[in-house]
Structure 1
Amino acid sequence: MNKRAHLSPEFVDTIPATIEQGKIYISIDFATAIHSCACGCGMEVVTPFSPTDWKLVFDGVSISLSPSIGNWSFPCRSHYWIRQNQVHWAGDWTDEEINAGRANDRRSKEHHYGIGTLSSTSSKKTLKKPGFWKRWFGWLIN
């Protein structure tokens, strides 16, 4: 496998059927970027843009994605940043760090979208009733 040091951005309306090595395809309409894993393993990496996922910065010439890309579910377990089209390799995470990161992502989404919390004893989602002030403010603006 040949590690990539650079990804060339290509803005597209839709994601192409074939993902070329060394390119990162960006669809603003679908708020998503996709590229072949920078380690060279050939796995496709999808990075959706949202307040709780990745952020894209385009400076007119190059792109940067934040946060880092940790392909923990891939056999390669590659971890890198994309800054100004350059791939900056980061260290591997332990399973504990990965689990903590995933839990933090889940909490961030739950908080942002107001969907409640996951029960520690159940895999079912439980909806939290909004607090008094949130209900009152919601009533006030409706």
Structure 2
Amino acid sequence: MMRHKRLEHRFVEHIPEILGPGVLYVSMEYATAVHSCCCGCGEEVVTPFTPTDWKMTFDGEAISLKPSVGNWNLACRSHYVIDRGQVIEADPWTDEQVEAERRRDKAAKARYYGATTVERPPAAAVTSTAARPKVGFWRRAVRWLGGGR
């Protein structure tokens, strides 16, 4: 049973060290939402916004996250949907369902992001922007935040 039936959202730049119960902290700067597990166990739940992870919608009043939040690595193994701030308990998953989802997620990431390392040709060999390797989302984010070159 879910202890928190509703999450109040707070837009923040940095996620606080101590999470308030029933609060969904949303950092647009870091494309992430964090909350204390809605079952009440107190564990931190991180939902990154990426093309292969969660999508966040804000309608001016409330926030929704898609897909559902499945806390398979937590002792509680809670599973719920956050829809317009409401926490809707979802059916538990079997170990087989969790493993199937992990395989699907890994395959989706491999399709979207491609290889994790890119062989770069010598600088003199690069003659056009089309020949340059694509820069990934996280590397662009780090550069944008001033942490990379």
TM-score between both structures, scaled by the size of structure 1: 0.81
Counterpart CA distance in 2 for 1:90 and 1:2 is 10
User: Deviation above 3 Å: which 4+ runs of structure 1?
Assistant: 139-142
Partner of 1:112: 112
Equivalent residues in 2 for 1:92-103 (5 A)?
92-103=92-103
* Structure with the bigger percentage of strand: 1
Q: Which runs of 5+ in 2 are unaligned?
A: 118-127, 132-149
Partner of 2:47: 47
SS in 1 for 2:3: coil
Partner of 1:123: none
| Distance apart, 1:28 and its partner CA | 0.1
SS in 2 for 1:16: coil
The answer on whether the counterparts of 2:2 and 2:39 sit within 8 Å (CA) in structure 1 is: yes
Identity of aligned residues (%): 50
**1:91 and 2:91 equivalent?**
yes
Counterpart CA distance in 2 for 1:45 and 1:7 is 13
| Distance apart, 1:35 and its partner CA | 0.2
Counterpart CA distance in 2 for 1:4 and 1:17 is 20
Q: 1:140 to 1:44 in 2, by over 3 A?
A: closer
The answer on whether the counterparts of 2:2 and 2:89 sit within 8 Å (CA) in structure 1 is: no
